[in-house]
A = this chain, B = another copy of it.
Amino acid sequence: MATIGDICVSASINLLSALAFLLAFGILRLQPFNDRVYFPKWYLKGIRGSPTGSNAVKKFVNLDFATYIRFLNWMPAALHIQEPELIDHAGLDSTVYIRIYLLGVKIFAPITLLAFMVLVPVNWFGKTLEAPGAKDLTFSSIDKISISNIPFGSDRFWAHIVMSYVFSSWTCYSLYKEYGIIAEMRLRFLAAERRRPDQFTVLVRNVPTDPDESVSEHIEHFFCVNHPDHYLMHQVVYNANKLASIAAKKKKLINWHVYYQNKYERNPSKRPTIRTGFLGFLGNKVDAIDHYTAIIDNLSKQEAQERENIINNPTAVIPAAFVSFKTRWAAAVCAQTQQTSNPTIWLTEWAPEPRDVFWENLAIPYFDLNMRRLLMTVSLFFLTFCFMIPIALVQSLANIEAIEKVLPFLKPIIEKSSIKSVIQGFLPGLALKIFLIMLPKILMTMSKMEGFTSLSGLDRRSASKYYLFVLVNVFLGSVITGTAFQQLQQFISQPSTEFTKTVGSTIPMKATFFITYIMIDGWAGIAAEILRLSPLITFHMKNTFLVKTEQDRQNAMDPGSLEFATSEPRIQLYFMLGHVYAPVTPFLLPFIVVFFAFAYMIFRHQIINVYAQQYESGGAFWPDVHGRVVMGLIISQILLMGLLTTRGTDKSTLVLIAQPILTFWFHRYCKGRFESAFVKFPLEEAMVKDTLERAVEPNLNLRIYLQDAYVHPVFKGDDFEKPAIIDDEEGNPLIQTTRASRQDSRPESDSETGSC
């Protein structure tokens, strides 16, 4: 077991590497030619432009050495900006996200203090480990201040039980307050928001087919009948998945075209050539620029044809639509109510904001959706518990003998001892490493197959999947040796209490491991985040080979964004570690607190200067975050119960069993109290906004405002040829939005949009 000394060595290594990252960042960020890597957000906002000074060197390197001395001055700058400004600048999602770290500090700073004041003395004077009669256990100073130092069946355990209740109460109190604050922030944010298309719009799915009417007509008639005073217009959704993929392919090829063009311009003596075969290695040599020009032309034709297809083919319209109403009140009503007696058709939900729509999933029928959920749940189970099986298979195939068999010509090379040892040491780990890198993508693909319709929903869903994986394979996997599948077998074949006992009693022994983990993954990992090594390299590569215009340079920036789906579950691991170790090994807590505080600062800097948010969901993920913190808390309470029963305090179970029940009840209460603020749009708020708007802008033409709001992104942009049927009403911009004036006119059956 590691001693304090070992921990100190590890801590200093990790601190040094974290400092090195920070130093590197401090220097790199001051160089003007890195400006777009470290401050992309300001460029995207149009506040910052490329340096235009006359001195060519100054354009690239910062020679003002005075600034280097203050290389850490980004820290106070990051903390200086106030929250309302932050919401305005970075959006509510980002602001709420960094509050998770702040919550960590809020919860664990007092717990750490209390644990060091109460539990450390109690443990220290337990003196089991130092007792002359103690079995020859190897122990370290950390164990002396942990629960391991308390004698079997001692009454001192009551201190831990009481403190466990205190910690849980404090956590619940903090969570409750935070939930209230976030809900308040969200409501204020929604109330203060300027007019947005999604406030008036409802996403309608599973429109039933009607033999006599087109989808568009059917939708129009249905809402004219059932929301007669409120219906304004609708926008049908085209199945543009193929078109989108052609457009994406074309964009990639254009990049290559530009690359070869640039190459040729720099060296006009020789036209660049490529091979057309496998990965550019085989096949005929052709002129690269001509080749790409030809392919791009071809794709452009295909694209135009597909565009034509979509517009003229009625089957390209999928049975879903964005239906807009005259008021926010009516949209809120439609989104929250059931339309017909068959709850599987005419499904209405509050529309995601246009950037947030995941277009591919809008057409999935109800039954398929259920089937997909089932399949994905089963897959997730197997992925979580059995992912080691295929990897072990790949590993066994990827050994030297197998390679020699398949590719015998490599034999003489492989047999060399130096290469052999590299392969043997490297290959088995490789499959696992690749899997872990791919995992978020796999989980995201699974979430996409489940049929969510918004990017934010996909992110949230992937995050829960990832959390399960982290919980089972990182946390439990580290505590109990063996794969998740073996754990599962163990869990099934033992009495249910035995499992918690096994895990609980192993917990104190793993403290040093987790301390090291926190320092490597938490401290150094977060410091590496701010360095942005991969975007830095990518940007300079692109800048060298592809960028010609200012616009290109803009596009070459990769601001990145908060990867909610992967980073949030990892924060949750720290919450859980904190809760699990708070009553057991308080020594771990300061490391957690430092992690949260440090990460808060780093990410605050990142959302201010770097990340560009892909969408704005208004902090809709908070209920998930809250739920997972509570779940971690409950797990920690159960494990403590398991641990204490192995320490001769069987009666303690009776006292501790109420804790998870009360915590679960607390979760339910919070859910009822706050969750709907994240799911529904209350009518009162809608009415207030409507009334205000009517007073301020009585002549607003909402129809024009909403006209193109929910058009598939491939139809947008410079080369946007709007579908003909949308054009129909373009010439008539002053369509009145009151019902009375149009009551006589029949709705035009060929019109895409129109009130009734």
With A669-B370, A687-B225 as contacts: A337 and B343 at CB distance below 8 Å: no
Interface string of A669-686 (1 = CB under 8 A from B): 100111111001111110
With A229-B229, A495-B494 as contacts: A337 and B687 at CB distance below 8 Å: no
- A55 to chain B minimum Cβ distance, whole angstroms, is 56
Interface string of A227-249 (1 = CB under 8 A from B): 10100000000000000000000
Q: Are A341 and B226 in contact (CB under 8 A)?
A: no
Bound complex: CA of A419 vs CA of B104, how far in Å?
72
Q: Are B668 and A340 in contact (CB under 8 A)?
A: no
Interface string of A335-373 (1 = CB under 8 A from B): 011111101100000000000000000000011001000
Q: Are B337 and A336 in contact (CB under 8 A)?
A: yes
With A226-B687, A687-B226 as contacts: A338 and B665 at CB distance below 8 Å: no
Q: Which of A333, A367, A677 counts the most chain B CB atoms within 10 A?
A: A333
Q: Are A343 and B492 in contact (CB under 8 A)?
A: no
SS class of chain A's interface: helix, strand, loop or mixed?
helix
- A609 to chain B minimum Cβ distance, whole angstroms, is 33
With A374-B665, A683-B226, A683-B338 as contacts: A343 and B496 at CB distance below 8 Å: no
A486 contacts partner chain B, Cβ-Cβ < 8 Å: no
- A746 to chain B minimum Cβ distance, whole angstroms, is 19
Within 8 A of B (CB), among A313-335: 332-333
Q: Choose one: B337, B344, B378, B684; the contact of A341 (CB below 8 Å).
A: B684
- Chain B residues in 8 Å Cβ range of A367: 669
Bound complex: CA of A493 vs CA of B494, how far in Å?
9
- Chain B residues in 8 Å Cβ range of A495: 492-496, 498
Interface string of A169-201 (1 = CB under 8 A from B): 000000000000001000100000000000000
Q: Are B339 and A684 in contact (CB under 8 A)?
A: yes
Knowing that A225-B687, A492-B496, A493-B497 are A-B contacts, what are 12 other residue pairs whose CB atoms are under 8 Å apart, sorted by A's residue number? A226-B683, A226-B684, A338-B682, A338-B683, A339-B683, A339-B684, A340-B683, A340-B685, A343-B673, A370-B668, A370-B672, A495-B495
Identical subunits present: 2
Q: Are B496 and A677 in contact (CB under 8 A)?
A: no
Bound complex: CA of A415 vs CA of B268, how far in Å?
125
Q: Are A338 and B676 in contact (CB under 8 A)?
A: yes
Residue on B nearest A677 in the bound complex, by CB = B341
Q: Are B339 and A370 in contact (CB under 8 A)?
A: no
Q: Are B497 and A341 in contact (CB under 8 A)?
A: no
A166 contacts partner chain B, Cβ-Cβ < 8 Å: no
A661 contacts partner chain B, Cβ-Cβ < 8 Å: yes
Bound complex: CA of A373 vs CA of B677, how far in Å?
22
- Chain B residues in 8 Å Cβ range of A683: 226-227, 337-340
Bound complex: CA of A681 vs CA of B496, how far in Å?
44
- Chain B residues in 8 Å Cβ range of A668: 370
- Chain B residues in 8 Å Cβ range of A496: 492, 495-496
Q: Which A residues are closer than 8 A to B by beta carbons?
A: 183, 187, 225-227, 229, 332-333, 336-341, 343-344, 366-367, 370, 374, 378, 492-498, 661, 665, 668-669, 672-677, 680-685, 687
Q: Are B494 and A344 in contact (CB under 8 A)?
A: no
Q: Are B665 and A370 in contact (CB under 8 A)?
A: yes
- A243 to chain B minimum Cβ distance, whole angstroms, is 32
Q: Choose one: B337, B677, B687; the contact of A332 (CB below 8 Å).
A: B337
Q: What 6 pairs between A and B have smallest CB-CB spacing?
A: A343-B676, A336-B337, A338-B680, A340-B684, A374-B665, A338-B682
Bound complex: CA of A229 vs CA of B739, how far in Å?
14
- A474 to chain B minimum Cβ distance, whole angstroms, is 24
Q: Choose one: B187, B226, B366, B661; the contact of A672 (CB below 8 Å).
A: B366
- Chain B residues in 8 Å Cβ range of A493: 495, 497
- Chain B residues in 8 Å Cβ range of A370: 665, 668-669, 672
- Chain B residues in 8 Å Cβ range of A336: 336-338
- A62 to chain B minimum Cβ distance, whole angstroms, is 49
- Chain B residues in 8 Å Cβ range of A374: 665
- A620 to chain B minimum Cβ distance, whole angstroms, is 15
- Chain B residues in 8 Å Cβ range of A682: 337-341, 343
Q: Are B341 and A685 in contact (CB under 8 A)?
A: yes
Bound complex: CA of A684 vs CA of B374, how far in Å?
31
Bound complex: CA of A187 vs CA of B342, how far in Å?
10
Bound complex: CA of A340 vs CA of B673, how far in Å?
12
- A490 to chain B minimum Cβ distance, whole angstroms, is 10
- Chain B residues in 8 Å Cβ range of A677: 341, 343
With A333-B337, A497-B492 as contacts: A343 and B672 at CB distance below 8 Å: yes
Q: Are B673 and A344 in contact (CB under 8 A)?
A: yes
- Chain B residues in 8 Å Cβ range of A378: 661
Q: Are B226 and A344 in contact (CB under 8 A)?
A: no
Bound complex: CA of A332 vs CA of B336, how far in Å?
11
Residue on B nearest A188 in the bound complex, by CB = B341
Q: List 22 A-B contacts (CB under 8 A).
A: A183-B341, A332-B337, A333-B333, A336-B336, A337-B680, A337-B682, A338-B676, A338-B680, A339-B682, A339-B683, A339-B684, A341-B677, A341-B685, A343-B672, A343-B673, A343-B677, A344-B673, A366-B672, A367-B669, A370-B669, A374-B665, A492-B495
- Chain B residues in 8 Å Cβ range of A187: 341
Residue on B nearest A674 in the bound complex, by CB = B343
